[in-house]
Amino acid sequence: MIPIKILENQETPVKQVCFGGAWYHKVMSMTYPFYGIEGIITIPMPFIRRYENYVVKKGLLDLEHKNLDVSSIYMGGHAKDESDVGLALFRAQLNQGISVGACVYRPFWRYITDEFEDIGGYDLLNNRNYAATLLSNHQGMKNIYAQYHPSFSEYYYLPGDTVKLSLFSPKPNFMQMMIEVVNISKLPYAIKMRKKYHWKQPKTFLSPIFSSKGHGTDLPKTYKRVNAIDQVKNEGKEAIVSNTQVLNAHWRECFLYYKEDGKLYKTPMNDTNSITMQCPNPLAFSTTKINENTGSQMISICPRGVIK
């Protein structure tokens, strides 16, 4: 157990420019020699309304059509390079095969590196149960996106599940994500889906370690937590006003790791040591005030009717 101790040496966080192509609520820390971040969150209800070929869906999710809006919940750190880890709405293994539309939250990790890249596909026979894909390469700096294979239903997390997300450094210049199950959802939707498709009860997930220079050292860095509606093939463009809603994500707590006299402590991530961004328009978000002692907050994303 990491003891809680309020970090007194706090600076004013710097607000970033909004990045286009998504609706996102970001809480970003001040710059400091942090050593990681953790947070407990109850997974929200995603009502996806944008699908390929203009399919209209009235229920919660459409498993038979490709969704163009993607709900994601993640954390990230930026030192020399940036890393993001968390959960995104992905396709799932059904009784008849893989769904076309996304319907479960599964782990992902994204990192930028010019060193240990770990690019490669699934190799289940040799226990490589994840794939790491090169998204871009800018002068040797590789942007890599990794996710776990969909056949492992114990790593499906559903609305109402409460999990603890942690992003930490097992050794200097590397990072790792852990997802620990706190409570399993009692929502009828989650119970029905797990029973209907014979999905296993959710378990703790630990990602492979991945390169992230500067993390796990005393180098100044920032950390963040993000709730988003990402939009397929829209990155860097103007966010599309959508009827999709992601309701009642509940960050029950959120803490930043730091060291004092060589000992690791955690301090609540709150309005004193962080800044909030609601992009591209704050009117798309309904939130509670961040609790100064725990970092807790409720967040809903509702872009419908917003004029940018």
Secondary structure element (H or E) that encloses residue 7, with its range: none
Phi–psi pair at 234, nearest 5 degrees: -125, 10
Spans of the chain below 70 pLDDT: 307-308
pLDDT for position 307: 59
- Contact partners, residue 233, CB within 8 Å, separation at least 6: none
pLDDT for position 308: 52
Residue 158 · residue 189 · CB < 8 Å: yes
Structure tokens at 6: 């309020």
CA distance 230 to 240: 10
pTM: 0.95
Which DSSP symbol is given to 302? Answer: -
- Candidates 2.60.120, 2.130.10, 3.60.90, 2.40.320; correct CATH number of 22-107+151-301? 2.60.120
Domain segments of the chain as ranges:
22-107+151-301
pLDDT for position 301: 98
pLDDT, tens digit, 9 for 90 and up, residues 253-299: 999 999 999 999 999 999 999 999 999 999 999 999 999 999 999 99
pLDDT for position 60: 84
